């Protein structure tokens, strides 16, 4: 069934999926280039798993089209698609041993020379010698590797990974992230990875699509998205941002002028997603620096003053909260590199940044400052991840 | 396979085994035996003793009589004699029970699957429907079948009209009636264990199987069936074993040519006054069933399927 010779990108075009009145995926379009490591990142209930299941054939889109190369696979049954999945719960067959679990897809396609292929895949996931074990006799990490081998052995055109590391503890997760990346480079198959873990998405994927409420908010390389987020959601889901409500007043010499809380700021026009009307002025916490004397603000930097309300030492940096004159608490991450003594809580400080580190986003009129990370609620409304 | 292996009494060690067992530890060690006692006493009184008595009866001198009493002469010849007398009925019992079990699987598996996986909020109601006939007596239900299958009943009339049955064809007092009766009466014992194992079936495994190129039919053979095997084995045994020994269906729905071994045992004790023969037949039946169950369970490999 798999025709590895037939190259092709995975193309999802205007796909919508409704469950009754609930719209899980809303007119979504995206292209995953062949051979890339693509991550769908979002909180629970954002539609990322539903998208994945439509590619796998486990859900049929209400509208739209899924193509693999030139082939329309929208309505093909799961077993007719050159696509395999590593399930969130692994879904290993409890009545079969590791060998038979991995050989399952080959046997269904009546392939020959099964044993050497299984051995090769088990070597790839470093599980040689486990062939006779039952899934129940394996640790979580080992089960995860079997699930991966069981999918990869079929040489699918696209490998789908549904939160494959979610059940593992932190240390094992980091280790498997590196492993997965290595395997993907080695086999060169397109990986589509669904996750709610932004660090996982950023460290593994070439391209990340941030999803929210059934739509893609932003798609791009991890650094692109982090450095220049497209929406307030992305700015605070992928890492954290200080977003100040302001009003843009148009361009002037390559910069966009912004007025916020009686102060004027500038942002380079190339980093502005809006030039007029209500905007968010955004700066990442690690791009802010604190000085006690406003005279110490470097030339060309912009600043706001405030009072330190909290300081937490987290090893690599010290994280401060600075309350501005209008009451918003800005997050500031100061690296613990220099010999400077930590700043005391209650002290007056000036937070400053270089304009090219700031960015401008669209803002709904009336929306206030947003400085806290988007919560990744495990069981969001709708329960369809 | 819990119903076959049974759970042996395994005394639980008191925690902190490094120390000498204190009073509570000693009490805890005896607790399993204490809990076993009522059941154990019941089985000794009403199973072991009667079985031993039955075994003894099977070896009595068959020339005795109920009024004069029987002498214990270790008459092992009773066994070949009983088999020579009743072998057609023994064979028939296994044939009828076997056919009824197969029909039961054909009816019961889809039923159990539908209730377990597809019934949604109707699940409990449907389960009650499966069990509901057992609220009335076995005898009454079998008598009702007599009415359903009677020569001037609607079913026979319909079958005659459509030509599926000849003009003077009948259902009652035929092997078909006996097999149908057995199938009907023991079906719940097959459906319930099957339901229990199908209900636990993780549907994500079915998705995984489809994802790995198995068509729905292959998924059934390779995933659903093996995973429901414990339920299927338990269900078929609970169906087959009582069906082999049953005599009510043959007595009420059959004729003299459909008699099963149960009917012979019944008449040996109650009308023909030959208890040694009846006892010997009972033991033969028990041995045959044990042999069949043993090979069946081995081949089905249930000790491997959790």
A114 with A149, same domain?
Answer: yes
Dihedral angle over CA of A247, A252, A256, A261, nearest 10: -40
Query: Is B98 domain-assigned?
Result: yes
Query: Is B30 domain-assigned?
Result: no
Q: Which of A199, A233, A205, A201 is nearest to A218 (CA)?
A: A233
Structural domain for B120, as ranges: 44-300
Q: Which residues pair with A208 in a beta bridge?
A: A39, A220
- Asked if residue A29 has pLDDT above 50, the reply is yes
Q: How far apart are the first and last CA of chain A?
A: 29
Q: Which of A342, A292, A287 is nearest to A313 (CA)?
A: A342
CA distance B125 to B284: 41
Query: What integer pLDDT is reported at residue A376 of this predicted model?
Result: 59
pLDDT tier for residue A221 given thresholds of 50, 70 and 90: very high
Model confidence over A307-359: pLDDT tens digits?
999 999 988 899 999 999 999 999 999 998 766 678 899 999 999 999 999 99
- Asked if residue B14 has pLDDT above 60, the reply is no
In B, which residues are within 8 Å of A82 by CB distance? Answer: none
Query: Is A267 domain-assigned?
Result: yes
> CA of B214, closest CA in chain A: separation in Å?
6
CA distance B65 to A174: 85
CA distance A77 to A211: 26
Query: What integer pLDDT is reported at residue B180 of this predicted model?
Result: 95
Helix extents (H) in chain A: 48-56, 98-108, 114-124, 140-152, 170-187, 198-204, 222-227, 232-237
A284 with A214, same domain?
Answer: no
Q: How many CB atoms lie within 10 A of CB A119?
A: 14
- Asked if residue A107 has pLDDT above 60, the reply is yes
Query: What integer pLDDT is reported at residue B301 of this predicted model?
Result: 63
CA distance B39 to B47: 11
A345 with A208, same domain?
Answer: no
Query: What integer pLDDT is reported at residue A173 of this predicted model?
Result: 85
Query: Is A71 domain-assigned?
Result: yes
What CATH number has the domain bearing residue A350?
A: 2.40.50.140
pLDDT tier for residue B85 given thresholds of 50, 70 and 90: very high
pLDDT higher for A185 or B10? A185
> Parallel, antiparallel, or unpaired: how do β-strands A190-195 and A37-41 relate?
parallel
| DSSP, res A269 | G
Q: At what angle do helices A170-187 and A114-124 cross, to 10 degrees?
A: 130
pLDDT higher for A36 or B305? A36
A217 with A341, same domain?
Answer: no
Structural domain for A156, as ranges: 10-226
How is residue B305 written in tokens? 């399927």
Q: What is the 3 state secondary structure string of chain B?
A: CHHHHCCCCCCCCCCCCCCCCCHHHHHHHHHHHHHHHHHHHHHHHHHHHHHHHHHHHHCECCCCECCCECCECCCCCHHHHHHHHHHHHHHHHHHHHHHHHHHHHHHHHHHHHHHHHHCHHHHHHHHHHHHHHHHCCHHHHHHHHHHHCCCCCHHHHHHHHCCCCCCCCCCCCCHHHHHHHHHHHHHHHHHHHHHHHHHCCCHHHHHHHHHCCCCHHHHHHHHHHHHHHHHHHHHHHHHHHHHHHCCHHHHHHCCHHHCCHHHHHHHHHHCCCCHHHHHHHHHHHHHHHHHHHHHHHHHHCCCCCC
Tokens 């002037």 locate to: A252
Domain count, chain A: 2
CB contact under 8 A, A94 and B306: yes
Model confidence over B206-265: pLDDT tens digits?
999 999 999 999 999 999 999 999 999 999 999 999 999 999 999 999 998 999 999 999
CA distance A46 to A43: 6
Question: Which residues of B lie inside 8 Å of A (Cβ-Cβ)?
Answer: 202, 204-205, 207-215, 218, 222-223, 226-227, 304-306
CA distance B218 to B204: 15
Query: Is B34 domain-assigned?
Result: no
CB contact under 8 A, A108 and B212: yes
Q: Mean pLDDT of all residues in chain B?
A: 88
Query: Is B37 domain-assigned?
Result: no
In B, which residues are within 8 Å of A164 by CB distance? Answer: none
Query: Is B10 domain-assigned?
Result: no
- Asked if residue B13 has pLDDT above 60, the reply is no
Query: Is A263 domain-assigned?
Result: yes
Which H helix or E strand runs over A26? Answer: strand A22-32
Query: What integer pLDDT is reported at residue A175 of this predicted model?
Result: 84
Query: Is A102 domain-assigned?
Result: yes
Query: What integer pLDDT is reported at residue A125 of this predicted model?
Result: 87
> Parallel, antiparallel, or unpaired: how do β-strands A207-212 and A215-220 relate?
antiparallel
Which H helix or E strand runs over A218? Answer: strand A215-220
- Asked if residue A5 has pLDDT above 50, the reply is no
A156 with A292, same domain?
Answer: no
Model confidence over B135-169: pLDDT tens digits?
989 999 999 999 999 998 899 999 999 988 888 88
CB contact under 8 A, A108 and B306: no
What CATH number has the domain bearing residue A208?
A: 3.40.50.300
CB contact under 8 A, B223 and A78: no
CB pairs under 8 A between A and B: 64
Q: Which residues pair with A194 in a beta bridge?
A: A40, A162
Question: Which residues of A lie inside 8 Å of B (Cβ-Cβ)?
Answer: 1, 56-58, 77-79, 83-85, 87, 89, 91-95, 104-105, 108-109, 136, 150-151, 154
User: If phi over 0 gives left and psi between -120 and 50 gives alpha, with beta otherwise, what is residue A140?
Assistant: alpha
- Asked if residue A366 has pLDDT above 90, the reply is no
CA distance A299 to A47: 46
- Asked if residue B4 has pLDDT above 50, the reply is no
CA distance A101 to A151: 10
What CATH number has the domain bearing residue B157?
A: 1.10.3720.10
- Three-state DSSP state, A103: helix
Which H helix or E strand runs over A309? Answer: strand A302-313
CA-derived radius of gyration, chain B: 24
| CB < 8 Å & 24+ apart, contacts of B58-65 | B58/B276, B58/B279, B58/B280, B58/B282, B58/B283, B59/B276, B60/B275, B60/B276, B60/B279, B61/B276, B62/B274, B62/B276, B62/B277, B65/B273
- Asked if residue B15 has pLDDT above 90, the reply is no
CA distance A94 to B149: 46
How is residue A30 written in tokens? 């995206």
Model confidence over A42-74: pLDDT tens digits?
988 899 999 999 999 999 999 999 999 989 999
CB contact under 8 A, B208 and A84: no
CA distance B93 to B259: 8
For A163-172, A295-304, B144-153, which range has the lowest pLDDT when averaged over its residues? A163-172
Q: Mean pLDDT of all residues in chain A?
A: 90
Burial class (CB in 10 A: 0-12, 13-18, 19+), B268: buried
Residue A87 has its nearest CB partner, among B204, B218, B305, at: B204
CA distance A174 to A186: 19
Kindly state the percentage of chain B with pLDDT values over 70: 90
A49 with A146, same domain?
Answer: yes
pLDDT tier for residue A375 given thresholds of 50, 70 and 90: low
Query: What integer pLDDT is reported at residue A336 of this predicted model?
Result: 86
CA distances from A379 to A20, A69, A192, B202 (A): 19, 35, 23, 21
In B, which residues are within 8 Å of A151 by CB distance? Answer: 211-212
CB contact under 8 A, B213 and A77: no
CA distance A192 to A141: 20
Query: Is B2 domain-assigned?
Result: no
For A108-117, A150-159, A281-290, B7-16, which range has the lowest pLDDT when averaged over its residues? B7-16
Query: Is B196 domain-assigned?
Result: yes
Q: At what angle do helices B225-245 and B175-199 cross, to 10 degrees?
A: 140
Query: What integer pLDDT is reported at residue B163 of this predicted model?
Result: 87
CA distance A290 to A297: 9
CB contact under 8 A, B209 and A136: no
A26 with A143, same domain?
Answer: yes
CB contact under 8 A, B212 and A104: yes
**Assembly ipTM:** 0.83
Query: Is B26 domain-assigned?
Result: no
Which H helix or E strand runs over A193? Answer: strand A190-195
pLDDT higher for B232 or A384? B232
Q: Which residues pair with A248 in a beta bridge?
A: A258, A277
Taking residues A82-98, report their average pLDDT: 94
Burial class (CB in 10 A: 0-12, 13-18, 19+), B6: exposed
CB contact under 8 A, A85 and B208: yes
Query: What integer pLDDT is reported at residue B18 of this predicted model?
Result: 46
CA distances from A67 to A32, A148, A251 (A): 10, 24, 42
Taking residues B22-26, report their average pLDDT: 66
A213 with A176, same domain?
Answer: yes
Residue A79 has its nearest CB partner, among B202, B213, B304, at: B213
CB contact under 8 A, B210 and A150: no
Query: What integer pLDDT is reported at residue B302 of this predicted model?
Result: 52
């Amino acid at each position: 069934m798999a025709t590895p010779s037939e190259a092709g990108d995975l193309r999802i075009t205007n796909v919508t999926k409704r469950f009754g009145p609930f719209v899980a995926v809303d007119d979504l379009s995206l292209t995953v280039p062949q051979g890339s490591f693509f991550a769908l990142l979002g909180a629970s209930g954002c539609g990322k798993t539903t998208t994945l299941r439509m590619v796998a054939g486990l859900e049929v889109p209400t509208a739209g089209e899924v193509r693999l190369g030139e082939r329309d696979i929208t309505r093909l049954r799961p077993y007719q698609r050159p696509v395999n999945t590593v399930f969130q719960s692994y879904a290993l067959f409890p009545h079969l041993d590791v060998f038979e679990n991995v050989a399952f897809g080959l046997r269904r396609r009546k392939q020959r020379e099964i044993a050497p292929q299984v051995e090769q895949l088990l070597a790839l996931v470093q599980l040689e010698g486990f062939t006779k074990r039952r899934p129940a006799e394996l640790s979580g990490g080992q089960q995860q590797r079997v699930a991966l081998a069981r999918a990869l052995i079929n040489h699918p055109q696209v490998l789908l990974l549904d939160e494959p590391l979610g059940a593992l503890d932190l240390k094992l997760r980091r280790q498997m992230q590196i492993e997965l990346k290595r395997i993907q480079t080695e086999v060169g198959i397109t990986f589509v990875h669904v996750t709610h873990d932004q660090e996982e998405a950023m460290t593994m994927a070439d391209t990340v699509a941030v999803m929210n409420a059934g739509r893609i908010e932003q798609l791009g390389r991890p650094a692109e998205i982090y450095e220049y987020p497209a929406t307030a959601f992305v700015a605070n889901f992928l890492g954290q941002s200080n977003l100040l409500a302001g009003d843009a007043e148009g361009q002037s010499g390559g910069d966009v002028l912004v007025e916020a809380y009686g102060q004027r700021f500038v942002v380079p026009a190339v980093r502005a997603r809006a030039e007029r009307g209500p905007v968010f002025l955004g700066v990442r916490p690690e791009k802010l620096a604190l000085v006690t004397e406003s005279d110490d603000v470097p030339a060309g930097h912009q600043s706001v003053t405030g009072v330190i309300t909290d300081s937490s030492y987290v090893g690599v940096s010290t994280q401060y909260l600075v309350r501005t004159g209008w009451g918003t608490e800005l997050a500031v991450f100061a690296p613990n590199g220099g010999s400077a003594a930590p700043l005391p809580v209650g002290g007056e400080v000036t937070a400053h940044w270089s304009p090219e580190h700031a960015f401008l986003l669209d803002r709904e009129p009336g929306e206030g400052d947003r400085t806290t990370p988007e919560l990744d609620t495990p069981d969001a409304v709708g329960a369809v991840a | 396979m819990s119903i076959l292996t049974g759970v042996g009494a395994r005394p639980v060690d008191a925690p902190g085994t490094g120390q000498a067992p204190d009073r509570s530890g000693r009490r805890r060690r005896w607790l399993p035996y204490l809990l076993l006692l009522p059941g154990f006493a019941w089985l000794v009184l009403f199973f072991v003793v009667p079985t031993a008595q039955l075994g003894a009866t099977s070896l009595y001198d068959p020339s005795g009589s109920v009024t004069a009493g029987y002498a214990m002469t270790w008459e092992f010849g009773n066994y070949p004699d009983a088999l020579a007398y009743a072998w057609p009925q023994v064979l028939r019992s296994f044939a009828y029970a076997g056919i009824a079990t197969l029909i039961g699987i054909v009816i019961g598996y889809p039923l159990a699957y539908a209730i377990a996986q597809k019934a949604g909020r109707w699940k409990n109601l449907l389960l009650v429907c499966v069990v509901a006939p057992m609220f009335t007596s076995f005898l009454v239900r079998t008598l009702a079948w007599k009415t359903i299958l009677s020569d001037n009943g609607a079913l026979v009339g319909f079958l005659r009209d459509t030509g599926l049955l000849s003009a003077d064809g009948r259902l009652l007092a035929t092997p078909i009636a006996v097999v149908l009766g057995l199938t009907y009466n023991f079906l719940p014992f097959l459906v319930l264990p099957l339901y229990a194992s199908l209900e636990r079936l993780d549907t994500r495994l079915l998705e995984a199987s489809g994802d790995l190129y198995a068509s729905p039919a292959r998924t059934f053979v390779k995933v659903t069936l093996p995973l429901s095997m414990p339920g299927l084995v338990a269900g078929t045994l609970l169906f087959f074993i009582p069906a082999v020994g049953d005599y009510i269906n043959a007595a009420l729905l059959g004729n003299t040519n459909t008699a099963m071994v149960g009917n012979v045992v019944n008449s040996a004790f109650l009308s023909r006054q030959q208890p040694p023969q009846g006892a010997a037949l009972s033991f033969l039946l028990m041995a045959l069933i044990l042999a069949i169950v043993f090979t069946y369970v081995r081949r089905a490999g249930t000790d491997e399927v959790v």
